[in-house]
Amino acid sequence: MAILMVLTSHDALGDTGQKTGFWLEEFAAPWYVFRDAGIDVTLASPAGGQPPLDPKSDAPDAQTQDTERFRQDKEAQQALANTRKLSDIVASDYEAVFYPGGHGPLWDLAEHPVSIALIEKFWAEGKPVATVCHAPGVLRHTHKPDGSPLVEGKRVTGFTNSEEEGVGLTNVVPFLVEEALKEAGGLYERGEDWGEYVVTDGHLVTGQNPASSAATAQELLKLLHR
């Protein structure tokens, strides 16, 4: 069994002069959920190679058991340094797709034609699609085979407006995840800010924030093992 994980290649935090990218916990926790279950994981990104790490996710207060494990794991580090180019990925090679968050995906993956087409193909074939934190934003332009928005009428979650306000980036990001999901017809719901919250509706799994990353991956596994 094989899962595709898609990471951002975008490293600029708007016009702030600061860096962004993917959030380490949101990669590391799902990586180990999948690998510990014996699943093959292919990593991909728009540019291929090493995806940019959000430096804030590397700060001491953002560390977890999974991020610490990653720092000791040469195999995982090597895999991350050599992501495949998204344009070389064939959806039929995988049973599911997972998108870690971080702010980066709001700029590239949310607008990336290849990413959008891949999600739509996974969805149309009934394969699990899972996203966490800011990554539910990659669904904003995706559609079902009938042309309706993919999240329309679906229970979904993602990084809340209040969480974005809490990190001071409401006026920096190109769009707010919560608003984008609602505008696309998603039945948006949420838990407490920074608490674990995951929603599964059919073969769509969404997680609210970094604390939800492992649980989002576990929900995807449940779908695969039905």
Q: How confident is the model at residue 102 (pLDDT cuts 50, 70, 90)?
A: very high
Collect all residues with Cβ–Cβ distance below 8 Å to 78 and sequence separation of at least 6. Answer: none
Q: Report the pLDDT value the prediction gives residue 226, as an integer from 0 to 100.
A: 78
Name the packing angle between helices 74-81 and 24-36 (round to 10°).
Answer: 120
> What is the tens place of the pLDDT at every residue in 181-199?
999 999 999 999 999 999 9
Q: Residue 101 gets which letter from DSSP?
A: -
pLDDT at res. 32: 98
Q: What is the mean pLDDT of residues 8-20?
A: 97
Statement: residue 201 has pLDDT above 90: yes
Report if pTM > 0.95: yes
Q: What is the pLDDT of residues 104-127, one digit of tens each?
A: 999 999 999 999 999 999 999 999
pLDDT, tens digit, 9 for 90 and up, residues 122-154: 999 999 999 999 999 999 999 999 999 999 999
Q: What is the pLDDT of residue 48?
A: 98
The single-letter code of the amino acid at 225 is H
* Mean pLDDT, rounded, of the chain: 97
Bridge partner residues of 188 (DSSP): 156
Domains of the chain: 2-224 (3.40.50.880)
Distance (Å, rounded) from C-alpha 219 to C-alpha 203? 10
For residue 222, give Cα distances in angstroms to 82, 91, 131, 164, 190: 28, 20, 15, 30, 21
